[in-house]
Amino acid sequence: MFNSREQGTPYLTVLGLNHNTAPIEIREKMFIRESDVPDLLEKIKETGIDESVIISTCNRTEIYFHTDKHEESLKKLEETLSEVFQAHPEWFNKFTYTFHNAEAYKHLFLVASGLDSLVIGEPEILGQVKDAYRIAVVCNATGSFLNKVFHKTFNTAKRIRTETKIGYNPLSISSMAIELAKQIFGDLSEKKILVVGAGEMCETALKYFQKEGLNEVLIVNRTYQKACKLAEEIVGSAYPFHELSELLVNVDVVLTSTGSEKPLIDKTFMHTVMKKRKNRPLFLIDIAVPRDIAPEVNDIENVYLYDIDDLKELSQQHFADRLKESEKAHTIIEEEVDKFAEILKQLNLNPLITQTLNRAEEIRSKELKKTLQKLKNADDNTIRTIDALTKTITNKLVHPYIALIKQNSSDATGEALKKYFQFEEEDEEEMDNRDKG
């Protein structure tokens, strides 16, 4: 069982699920929209959790938190999430993972560096982690501990980008979707492509279409002005959202990634489109979470639907190409985990060291004062000499214990030293009485 005071350090816990542990139908149900994050952070705070950060993307939902009541807080957090997502309790056993302390911030380092992504080395995730942290800071959901953890995370990710080629010729979910389309059709130059959405994923996809030299790219979005902006700045022709049905009749490939809470395209809608197409094949690539296209659409004849989980095979092929750089990155992360563990250990030890020194000084000062009261005729030089002497003696007596604290941070050692340097008042009274006697 996890020891909440493991190694005597402050601790971090992460509760999450990702593309490796949960299928898309579960991930989309536990996806947290950016606009909903502040409310959930507040609910988490109400459970007694001191600090928390929520990361929710198309491939993962993770909550990083710091509290002194680990097991109690984790249970309350699961209860809160069950209520928010209307999730079955068994989901937490079947689809989620929990990491603590070194394993937790190692996992965070891997996530921010793109090493735990569906597409290894993809650059977007670092920006998503930074955005998640920024929102938590604005909502006053972080404190000194998580601030240190996330700043260390960003430094580690930067080091990996600098010292390895893991981000060279960067891949992304969007680029993988386009590669899938090229595997299906070969040359895309003669194909008419419809992009549904105007967010970051679609913007990235349009840049890839531009590199491919494609001319017949159509863009549709609920906010027509955003579609126009992308078409003007990158490539394509913009259309109002209400023309979606007619546009689907004349295109070969559809790439969709919107922020819709419900599918934009269902089976009935697609049946109507396919009748107008006279059953010509249509390829749909849905990289949205939650999904934009109902999975039942794939049952329609000559409709070929791919979602984000269908990109896993392609991502594995690219992972093999990047394996050497990935190994370098993992080595860096192991180094940074060790460094950070030492930092956290020292942070935890400093209060005990300070407490020990303060207690020793308190005893020295008290005894010095009593001695000087007896030496009423002592001159300033004598007083300074005695003061310096007692400081030297005290420091030499305390030094071995300080060294012991730094070398051994176990709970038993800490408790023993606290007991040694925190005498009960009645013990001091007994010592005073003995002195008087």
**Residues 159, 162, 164, 166, CA torsion sign:** positive
Active site annotation includes 202: no
- Quick one: DSSP state of residue 251? -
Angle, helices 37-46 vs 70-85, to 10°: value is 140
Question: Taking the C-alpha atoms of 225, 231, 237 and 238 in order, what is their torsion angle to the nearest 10 degrees?
Answer: -20
Give the strand order in the sheet containing 217-221.
237-240, 217-221, 193-196, 253-256, 282-286, 303-307
DSSP codes joined into one string, 91-156: HHHHT-EEEEHHHHHHHHHHHHTTTTSSSTT-SHHHHHHHHHHHHHHHTT---HHHHHHHHHHHHH
Q: What are phi and psi of 66, to 5 degrees?
A: -130, 125
What lies within 8 Å, CB to CB, of 373 at 6+ separation is none
> Tokens in use for 428?
């001091």
Task: Report the SS3 class of residue 326.
Answer: helix
Q: Determine which one of 58, 139, 202, 228 is catalytic.
A: 58
Q: What share of the chain is helix, strand, coil (3-state, %, to 5)?
A: 60, 10, 25
**Residues 68, 130, 323, 257, CA torsion sign:** positive
Angle at 238 between CA 235 and CA 242, to 5 degrees: 150
Instruction: Please give the Cα distance from 29 to 272 (Å, whole number).
Output: 28
- Positions marked active-site: 58
